[in-house]
Structure 1
């Protein structure tokens, strides 16, 4: 990767980390969408780098919140999610070798839909969803995680509709994403799809994510939460539409 492409790649990673810090979501969506939109790296390559980066970010955020995890919800979700991650990896491999344009269109649609879902502020249900619903949502998130390392939108929308404390929702999501990411990296690692360049670039991304996260905490934009969510939705919507076009 030449220096200019590397700088652009790291800038998009920093933007995704900053937006995630001030809004609570969008790291994977922005990085996958931005890198693919500007054709800085192949989708499969970027998905692995996003996986390593997000995993480190999840562990940093989770180390003080493990006791908040809803183990029941996480277990049922992973029952559906882990096999689906493998299916998503197989779909990515098939499309990457046969139709890259179709893959970009699917990614654009996923990012656009993800932006819409994450922009919504759903009201919690009165009762906790049954385990089979958690598992079904896990299947949807697992396929997206396997294909693009962005399995968050369906899970975030689902868990924020459950009558659970906010700290429990966040910890459960972080833990679920971490396990799913480890599973994805295992699948692609066994297939021999992880290269030294991917690992090196992932290591370069870690301090960028750390600095962008610190900047987001210390210097958030002077905007209310609703305005920031609208900004994130507009950004994701623009990326998704441009990929579709």
Structure 2
């Protein structure tokens, strides 16, 4: 019988290593130990584990709940939260991601083992049910657009708050696997949306896809050099399939 393959996100190195050792003694295979949500999302595609175990407090820009939300939209891999946090706000956030278990530290290894076995069993049962509507955001309808309170700004989730980002301040957006970076002159935001979804939220008259991984504000372009756009000192590549369309939208003397 094949070993159950686990991926662990825990920012305390000692706890992570002890946990991995205990799980391996129980017969599990620990594919990797990571300390950030960003790393976990990358390793998921590398190892395709049977289950992910996430601490809620992680290094990096994504906490465990943010990471799990992205994971649940992009895969069917079950996940378990382990945390020292048991306040109502954290639990309410965690419930929205539909975790397969929520363990409050300290817990014993047998409790974790039981949670792993139940999680994998329940995940298998879920996958056998009729497919539900894909939760990945699609192009907003006209009715949805009309329902937005603001048409000149987005709200970006940063930890436990939503920060208002004016569309006029966005200079470029960059795809990062299954999430996306949005750049303003002051900040770099990591959002749990694909570049395609971000593009659909931005006005086409101001923004343009110039590469499969980049979207830019046309008025922010400072120069075009060879096959690159310069914006705020950053070199952004121009894709071959986008170059002609880009040049048509610029006034060139």
Per the normalisation by structure 2, the TM-score is 0.22
Please state which structure has a larger fraction of its residues in helix: 1
Please state which structure has a larger fraction of its residues in strand: 2
Per the normalisation by structure 1, the TM-score is 0.23
The structure number with the bigger radius of gyration is: 2
